[in-house]
Amino acid sequence: MTPVLSVRNVSKSFGGLRAVDNVSFDVHQGEILGLIGPNGSGKSTLFNCVLGQLPASTGIVLVDGKEVAGKRPCDLNKLGVGRTFQMLQVFPEMTVLDNIILAGQEHKGTMLSRLFGKPDAGLTEEALRMIDFFRLGHQTHEKAGSLSYGQQKLLDAAMAFMAGPKLVMLDEPAGGVNLTMLADLKERLKAFNQERGATFVVIEHNMEFVMSLCTRIIVLANGRIIAEGDPETVRNDPTVIEAYLGG
């Protein structure tokens, strides 16, 4: 079966500094892949190369076997790639419902529906289902800015998933979230993965969150993959302990 995502010999240099060095891996449907590493390991640069935010110096990235170099974010959305950002992308003065509808319009390329046709592009029903799935029903008509940070993280995830993507890139989803909301976020991500077959790639510093969420983990150091495997294998890898976990 063709991988949902293939990264082939990707490198990225900034002048004389090679931030990502000949990285290759595949992600298959239904996987939750964690991408971890110490500060300066190259994981954020690699993440941005995969998403087309940065052009790779060498190598290729494929989604469902199709090369995506030079694709704009809206083009990646149409190919079924969604993402969340380290910095929240919600609109604080809009309601939870309107945020999710707007995300659906953007992902589906129907922004002109605000001028022509139904104001919600026929997305209200699906938006309400997404709100219920992420347990934000009591906040449906509240302004997003009035939500707690953890609730805004759930909203951010709901917005990314509104288009029903086959692959979601999650950029530090646990950052700044308290333990209670973190448990809710992890449970909802697992449920979305299991119920809808969604595939995730997660960059995260919270090791407990990564180890309990991901089915496979890749560890980067100095721009290279130094370990790969299931969470328990990675946790006990001497190279990882030395380079990252500080054991």
- Final residue of a domain: which of 123, 140, 160? 160
- 14 forms beta bridges with 17
Question: Hey, what amino acid is at 118?
Answer: K
Domain range for 141 is 88-160
Tell me, what's the pLDDT at 117? 47
pLDDT at position 244, please? 62
As a whole number of angstroms, the distance between CA 166 and CA 163 comes to 9
Mean pLDDT by 10 residues, the chain (247 residues): 94 93 96 92 92 92 89 80 81 94 72 52 86 93 93 90 86 86 90 90 90 95 95 92 67
pTM here is: 0.87
Give the separation between CA 121 and CA 26, rounded to whole angstroms.
Answer: 35
Q: Are 143 and 45 contained in the same domain? A: no
Are 72 and 119 found together in one domain?
no
Q: Are residues 121 and 20 in the same domain?
A: no
Work out how many domains the chain is built from and give that number.
2
Q: Are 92 and 145 in a shared domain?
A: yes
Same domain, 23 and 71: yes
Q: Contact at 8 Å (CB) between 221 and 47? A: no
> Is there a single domain that holds both residue 30 and residue 46?
yes
| Cα distance between residue 212 and residue 207, in whole Å | 8
Does 26 lie in the same domain as 3?
yes
End residue of a domain, out of 129, 145, 160: 160
